[in-house]
Amino acid sequence: MLPILPPILRAGTPDLPAVPRWLQGWIIMFLGPILVWAETTILRRIFTTTVRDHPLVRIGLAYDPAAVVAACAAYRHPEGAPGAPPTFTLEQLVRAEIVRTWAEGCSDRALAWHLASNLVVRWFVGLSLFAPQLPDHTTLARFHGWMRQHVPDALFRDVLTFLDHVDPEDAATTPQIVDTFAMQSPVAPSVSPAALLRHLTLRLLLLLRQRGPATLTAALEALDLTPFTQKPKPARSAAARHARLQTTVALVARVVTTVTAQLDTLDPVVSPLVRAFLADLAKVQADELTTDDAGVVTERPAKERGSRRIASAVDREATFRKHEGSPAVLGSNAIISTTRTRIRACVIVTGCTPDSVAPAAVLQQQQDAGAPLPEIIVMDGAAGWGKTRAEVHTRSDGQTSLVAPIPQGGGSDPARFSVADFQVDFARMTCTCPGGIVSTMVYPSSSADGISFRFRASDCAGCDEYGQCRDPKAKPDSHRTVFISDYHHHMREARRVNQSDEGKALLHDRWRVEPTIAWLTRYQGCRRARCIGLAAAQFELSQACAVRNLLSWLHRHPRRAAA
C-alpha cells in the first residue's frame, strides 16, 4: 500500500543528507551556488529532452512583454515610498496572466497551483524552482483586477505590434472576417420574475444598510421585510406562485417608495448605485409583468416581454443571446475580426445585441486604438442589410466596404427575387422589376426608412418571371409590393460585388474565422466568462485573443522557416 505522504514530506525528515557535520557545514556555506547549479541542471535536462516544443517555452523564447510591464507600472508605488518592498516583480505577474489564459482562463487558485507544481510554468514566469515563496491566489486576483480596470487591452495591443514586426501584414489592405459567438455569464438566471425582484431588492437593501444614511435605514427597518429576508418555501401550484408574485410586487413598491423619498440624502457616490437599482427594478416589472385595471399582477407571455431583459440580480449587464438553432445563453455577445493570420479586433457587447452591430463595433475599436482601418470587412448574412452597410461606410468615412450575403427580405424563398433584383430610378421615382415592368405607384413606408412600390396583378399577368417573383400562396389578383429602403444603392452595389470573382472569393474564405472561434471557446476559456460584467468579459476576451495570436504565429513559424 502506498503511503499517504511521500517520504520527503513526512515529519522528522532531515533537510540535509546524512553526512558528517563538517560536510554539512560546507554544504550550508555553498548552498546558494549548489541550488543554482541544481536548478540549471534540472531545467537543461527537461528543456533539451521533453518540453522544448512546449507553447510556453516557445512564447518565452520569442516574445518579451516589456511594453505590458511598463503599462502596469502604476500598480506599484514609486521607489522610496513607504511600505515593504514587493515580493514579486511586475514581469512575473504579467507572465502569470499569460499562463492563466494559456490554461483556459483558469481561476486564481488553479493558477497558483500551476505556479506551484508545473516546472515549465515556473520557468516561464521567472520563479526559481527553490523559491521560498510563491504568489498565492489573493496576490494573483489583486493584480488581475487591477489590470482589468486600468490596462485591459495592453497585452492584446502589444502582441499585435510584435506580430506586425516579426510577421508583417498590411492591416489596411488585408481583408478582415468578422463573426460573433456567445460568452456565457458565470451566474444562473433567476427562475421567475418574483425571485428576480426579491434578489434585486435584497441587494439594494444590503447596499443601503452598509452605506445609506441612518434616517433611510430606520425607515426601511420599519417595513415588514419578512417575506424577503426569510428563505421562501417552494410554491408548488399556480395559485401559490401567483400569490407570491402579488406579495413580492407590493413589497417592492413599498421599498421603492421609501427609498425614492430620500434620494436627496444619499452620498454622491452611493446615489448612482441606488438609482441604477431602482431603474432595474422598474425595468424588470415593465418587461416581465402586466397589471390589469383591478391591480392584479400577472406575468407577460414570452412573446410580449421587453427587449434587453435583465435575468440575474448578480450580473445585471448580462442578457440573453438567442442564435438560430441554439438555445438562449445568458451572457454577452463576443465579436472578433480576424485575418488569415491574426485577430485584429475583439469586442464584447451584451447578449441581446444583434449581430448586425459587429462590423461597426470592430471598426470603432480599431479607430480608438489608432490602427488603420481595413479596406474590406467580410461577414455572414447578419450584416447583409443595407442599414449595416451604410453604417460601415459612414463610420469608416468611406475607407471600408462590407462584403456579406444579401439576406432574403421577409423570410422569403431564397429562389425568389430579392430587393436587389429591382432597379430604382430615384429621379423619376420608378421601379423596374426583373421582367421589365415599370411601376410608378409609390407610397412612403410608415414602419421603416424607405418607400414601397406597387405592381398591380394585371401588370404581372403572363410574365415569364411570375413564379420566381411571387409567393406561391399569393392570390392571383393580389398586387406585388416591393419595399425600397433608403439604403437601396448599398444593396445594389453589394449585389454587384457579390457576383464578381473577387466577391465570391471573399465570401468563400469566410469559413476561416470558424477555427479561430473554436480555439477561443475550447482552449482559451471564452465559452464562459470567469467574472461578472461586460468589462470583465472584455478583458478575458482580449487576453485570450492575444495568446491565440501568439500560438497561431508559433504554429505557422516552423512552416515559414522550412519554406
Question: Is a pLDDT exceeding 60 seen at residue 314?
Answer: yes
**pLDDT at residue 285, rounded to an integer:** 93
**Average pLDDT for 93-111:** 95
Residue with cell 462590407: 402
At 551, the pLDDT band (50, 70, 90 cuts) reads very high
Q: What does the pLDDT look like over 359-388, one tens digit per residue?
A: 999 999 999 999 999 999 999 999 998 889
Largest CA distance in the chain: 114
Q: What does the pLDDT look like over 433-482, one tens digit per residue?
A: 988 889 989 988 777 778 889 888 888 888 888 888 887 777 878 888 88
What's the rounded Cα separation, in Å, for the pair 334 and 337? Answer: 10
The SS3 assignment for 215 reads helix
Q: What percent of the chain has pLDDT over 70?
A: 91
DSSP per-residue string spanning 275-314: HHHHHHHHHHHHHHEEE-TT--EEEPPGGGPPSS----SS
**Average pLDDT for 329-344:** 95
Please tell me the pTM assigned to this model. Answer: 0.85
Q: What does the pLDDT look like over 485-525, one tens digit per residue?
A: 888 888 888 989 999 999 999 999 999 999 999 999 999 99
At 405, the pLDDT band (50, 70, 90 cuts) reads very high
Neighbours of 234 (CB within 10 A): 6
Residue with cell 416581465: 288
Question: Domain limits of the chain?
Answer: 51-151, 193-304
Comparing 307 with 162, the larger pLDDT belongs to: 162
Question: Is a pLDDT exceeding 60 seen at residue 13?
Answer: no
Question: Is a pLDDT exceeding 70 seen at residue 412?
Answer: no
What's the rounded Cα separation, in Å, for the pair 174 and 459? Answer: 47
- In angstroms, what CA-CA distances link 318 with 188, 332, 508? 10, 6, 34
Q: Nearest Cα to 547, choosing from 173, 212, 163?
A: 163
Question: Is a pLDDT exceeding 70 seen at residue 22?
Answer: no
At 83, the pLDDT band (50, 70, 90 cuts) reads low
Q: What does the pLDDT look like over 153-174, one tens digit per residue?
A: 999 999 999 999 999 999 999 9
Q: What percent of the chain has pLDDT over 90?
A: 53
| Mean pLDDT computed over every residue of the chain | 87
CA angle 448, 306, 258 (to 5 degrees): 130
**Average pLDDT for 292-312:** 86
For residue 204, give every residue at least 6 positions away whose Cβ sits within 8 Å of its Cβ, in sequence order, or none. Answer: 255, 259, 274, 277, 278, 281
What's the rounded Cα separation, in Å, for the pair 210 and 555? Answer: 53
Q: What does the pLDDT look like over 23-65, one tens digit per residue?
A: 666 666 766 676 667 677 777 777 776 677 889 988 998 999 9
Q: What are phi and psi for residue 530, nearest 5 degrees?
A: -90, -30
